[in-house]
């Protein structure tokens, strides 16, 4: 069924789509800035010098060109999910245009920079914005169809050939994801002085990647792949882990990006833990980063660091387990007020706990945290006679230092994912979800809600504690400053942004929220602003998160599982109900 949500009559859909697509193509071939920016040519020669090499279209303009050409073709060729695909392309083009326009105008001295000044013209970004808007309008006028369903048995295959074909599809798909991840990480280069344009290039690339994924999703490809991967679960996990291990062999395999990837891994692991508390059990925790901190400080004290108060030197696996256990105990302690308070009050209790932890660590209570001077000099993890900060030679490839941490964290994240998935599909997980859905009804089913909630806090905190132990070794320093309220909020945002209650959601959310600051370093003062804006936009237009849970998808996307819009389904339910009542009245007379 197709929802008509456009502002335009359907008859105008095709002209708008065609014009929009054409404008995107043209924008890709126009100059974007009327003069040189201070730090040199705006990326990819989108400046006046452009005409020295008119067809040397690279970077974001190359991506825009791809989007434009694809849209131009799809404006005339019917494919399943056409409206959705075109809409995704339109938003992507619009995003690239807006990012470029804002950046050039703000750096280049106002509107003149992106229109006409000093006798030259550069309307690239404006044309791109117009094209994007036209495409979005045209595609919605075309109607937004249901996402097409593709069969998981195809080409009339069955048995072994079918399995093989499915495996090939999965390898290609996950390989594509790997490639995209590598591109995303490296897009624009390292932020800061080294690559002053990292921010806008990265954001523009996000627009492109979003358009690509959105188009694939609209055409039913992502859903198809996720179904295939569900049918071949074991194989998918294998390929996914293999892909994760292959990342260091791509362009992203530099020391810097491996370090960033490992940091993301730590936060992703923490976010999955938080997802148990918030996403499954529905308990809002605003002080969660404290558990990461507890794990970190415990591990620091057991690492043999000279500056730590305890100074024990335990092997890393033992220290990590102890750190996790201690964090878990604190989780249970913080969770116990949940027996008495609900909702907003619980959020305040957890907020207070986070603050208590932060202040205690800052003031070096018990001399375990080093206070303002932190605990420096934590030695790297060392196992099997190898220190984890050493470079590595593998399959003839020189892998940079830090890659071992990356491998370790990949394994840990995979293990935590398995824990999450197993718990979610068990008696305990269902009890948590039941509590989230309706606590009284859950109690009426015999669920000891108090115990269940404490257990949720305990498990979540344990996972965070484990992540904290790796974090602190990787960083080499344990400082209270890493565990501020803002980190809790960011983790929570990662969970909500990615999609509550889902694993890919938490990982994606954590990746985005912790990569962005790296890329936007040049705009330190606006970083939070951009952050906040992005969150608001996502919550407004995609409240179910980027990778929603099956059910929340239905609830929040305005679609029921039967494919009806929610308004429609509710209307029908009301009608049925009224009918039933009037029939009853008739009956009684």
Partner 1 sequence: MNAARHSAETVLEASGVTMVFGGLTALNDVSLSLPEGRIVGLIGPNGAGKTTFFNCLTGLYTPTRGAVRLRGKELPHDPAKVTTAGIARTFQNIRLFPNMSVLENVLVGRHIRMRQGPLASLFHGPGFRRDERRAREKSLELLEFVGLRGVEDEVARNLPYGDQRRLEIARALATEPDVLLLDEPTAGMNPQETEDARQLIFRIRETGISVVVIEHDTKFIFSLCDTVSVLVQGEVLVEGSPDVVREDPRVIEAYLGKPREEVEAEVAEAAAHHGADHQGPAAGRRDDA
- Residues near partner 1 (CB under 8 A): 419, 422-423, 426-431, 433-434, 437-438, 440-449, 455, 551-552, 554-555, 560-562, 569, 573, 576-577, 579-581, 583-585, 587-588
The residue written with tokens 């985005």 in the block is 512
> Minimum CB separation from partner 1 for residue 57, in Å?
47
What's the CA dihedral at 31, 32, 38, 43 to 10 degrees? -80
Cα angle: 222, vertex 224, 226; to 5 degrees: 70
Number of Cβ within 10 Å of residue 415's Cβ equals: 13
Least distance in angstroms from the C-beta of 451 to partner 1: 9
Compare residues 516 and 547 and give the one whose CB is closer to partner 1.
547
Q: How far is the CB of 237 from partner 1 (least distance, A)?
A: 14
The DSSP 8-state label assigned to residue 313 in this structure reads B
Closer residue to partner 1 in complex, CB, 398/570: 570
Nearer to partner 1, 440 or 525 (CB): 440
Which of 181, 284 has the CB closer to partner 1?
Answer: 284
Nearer to partner 1 by Cβ, of 183 and 421: the residue is 421
Contacts of 507 (CB under 8 A, 6+ apart): 268, 271, 272, 413, 498
Q: How far is the CB of 434 from partner 1 (least distance, A)?
A: 5
Query: What tokens does 327 get?
Result: 């964090």
Nearest to 469 by CA among 271, 293, 258: 293
Which residue, among 97, 132, 134, 146, has the nearest Cα to 7 in the 3D structure? Answer: 134
User: Is 537 or 583 the residue whose CB approaches partner 1 more closely?
Assistant: 583
| Exposed / middle / buried, residue 478 (Cβ in 10 Å: 0-12, 13-18, 19+) | buried
Q: Between residues 131 and 465, which has the closer beta carbon with respect to partner 1? A: 465
CA-atom Rg of the chain in angstroms = 26
Residue 104 or residue 433: which is nearer to partner 1 going by CB? Answer: 433
Residue 465 CB, shortest distance to partner 1, in Å, is 16
Write out the two tokens for 418. 């398995």
How many Cβ atoms sit within 10 Å of the Cβ of residue 78? 6
CA–CA separation, 376 and 429 (whole Å)? 39
Q: How far is the CB of 413 from partner 1 (least distance, A)?
A: 16
Residue 58 vs 422, nearer CB to partner 1:
422
CB of 36 to partner 1, least distance (A): 55
User: Residue 561 Cβ, how far from partner 1 at the closest point, in Å?
Assistant: 5
**Cβ-based nearer residue to partner 1, 415 or 537:** 415
**How many angstroms separate the CA atoms of 14 and 19, rounded?**
8
- Give yes or no for a contact between 493 and 478, defined as CB atoms under 8 angstroms apart: no
> Residue 78 or residue 427: which is nearer to partner 1 going by CB?
427
**Looking at beta carbons, which pairs linking 538-547 to residues 24 or more positions away fall under 8 Å?**
538/497, 539/496, 544/499, 545/496, 545/497, 545/498, 545/499, 545/500, 545/502, 545/505, 545/509, 546/497, 546/498, 546/499, 546/505, 546/508, 546/509, 547/498, 547/499, 547/502, 547/504, 547/505, 547/508
Return the number of the residue (121 or 565) whose C-beta is nearest partner 1: 565
CA-CA-CA-CA torsion sign (570, 575, 576, 581) = positive
Chain-centre distance of CA 72, in angstroms?
Answer: 30
Least distance in angstroms from the C-beta of 325 to partner 1: 14
Structure tokens at 178: 């790997």
Yes or no: say if 101 and 129 are a contact pair by the CB < 8 Å rule: yes
Please provide the DSSP assignment of 386-432 as one string.
EETTS-EEETTEEEPTTHHHHHHHHHHHHHHHHHHHHHHTSHHHHHH
Shortest Å, Cβ 584 to partner 1:
6
CB of 160 to partner 1, least distance (A): 27
- Least Cβ distance, residue 495 to partner 1 (angstroms): 17
């Amino acid at each position: 069924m197709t929802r008509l949500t456009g502002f335009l009559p359907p008859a105008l859909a095709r002209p708008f789509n065609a014009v929009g697509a054409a404008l995107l193509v043209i924008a890709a071939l126009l100059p974007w800035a009327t003069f040189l920016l201070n730090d040199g040519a705006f990326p990819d020669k989108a400046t006046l010098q452009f005409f020295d090499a008119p067809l040397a279209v690279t970077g974001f303009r190359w991506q825009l060109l791809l989007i434009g050409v694809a849209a131009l073709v799809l404006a005339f060729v019917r494919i399943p999910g056409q409206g959705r695909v075109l809409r995704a392309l339109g938003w992507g083009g619009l995003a690239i245009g807006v990012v470029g326009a804002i950046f050039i105008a703000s750096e280049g001295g106002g509107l003149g920079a992106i229109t006409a000044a000093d006798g030259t013209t550069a309307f690239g970004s404006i044309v791109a914005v117009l094209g994007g808007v036209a495409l979005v309008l045209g595609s919605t006028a075309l109607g937004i169809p249901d996402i097409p369903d593709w069969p998981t048995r195809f080409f009339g295959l069955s048995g072994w050939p079918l399995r093989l074909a499915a495996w090939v599809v999965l390898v290609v798909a996950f390989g594509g994801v790997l490639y995209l991840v590598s591109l995303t990480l490296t897009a624009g280069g390292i932020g800061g002085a080294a690559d002053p344009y990292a921010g806008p290039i990265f954001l523009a690339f996000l627009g492109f990647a979003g358009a690509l994924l959105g188009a694939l999703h609209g055409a039913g490809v992502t859903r198809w792949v996720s179904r295939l991967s569900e049918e071949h679960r074991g194989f998918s996990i294998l390929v996914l882990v293999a892909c994760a291990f292959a990342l260091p062999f791509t362009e992203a395999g530099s020391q810097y990006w491996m370090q960033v990837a490992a940091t993301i891994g730590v936060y992703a692991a923490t976010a999955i833990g938080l997802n148990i508390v918030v996403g499954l059990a529905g308990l809002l925790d605003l002080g969660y980063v404290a558990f990461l901190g507890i794990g970190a400080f415990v591990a620091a004290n057991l690492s043999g660091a000279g500056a730590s108060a305890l100074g024990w030197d335990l092997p890393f696996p033992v220290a990590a387990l102890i750190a996790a256990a201690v964090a878990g105990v604190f989780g249970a302690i913080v969770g116990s007020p949940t027996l008495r308070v609900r909702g907003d009050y619980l959020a305040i209790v957890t907020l207070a706990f986070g603050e208590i932890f932060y202040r205690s660590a800052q003031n070096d209570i018990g001399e375990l945290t080093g206070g303002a001077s932190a605990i420096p000099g934590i030695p790297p993890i060392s196992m099997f006679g190898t220190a984890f900060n050493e470079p590595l030679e593998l399959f003839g490839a020189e892998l940079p230092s830090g890659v071992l941490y990356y491998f370790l964290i990949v394994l840990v994240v995979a293990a935590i994912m398995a824990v999450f998935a197993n718990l979610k599909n068990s008696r305990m997980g269902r009890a948590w979800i039941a509590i989230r859905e309706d606590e009284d009804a859950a109690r009426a089913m015999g669920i000891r809600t108090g115990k269940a909630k404490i257990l949720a806090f305990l498990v979540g905190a344990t996972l965070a504690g484990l992540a904290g132990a790796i974090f602190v070794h990787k960083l080499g320093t344990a400082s209270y400053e890493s565990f501020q309220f803002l980190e809790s909020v960011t983790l929570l945002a990662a969970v909500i942004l990615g999609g509550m209650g889902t694993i890919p959601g938490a990982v994606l959310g954590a990746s985005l929220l912790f990569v962005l600051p790296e890329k936007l370093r040049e705009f330190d003062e606006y970083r939070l602003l951009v952050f906040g804006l992005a969150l608001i936009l996502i919550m407004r237009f995609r409240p179910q998160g980027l990778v929603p849970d099956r059910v929340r998808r239905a609830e929040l996307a305005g679609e029921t599982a039967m494919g009806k819009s929610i308004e429609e389904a509710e209307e029908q339910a009301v009608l049925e109900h009224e009918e039933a009542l009037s029939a009853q009245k008739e009956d009684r007379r």
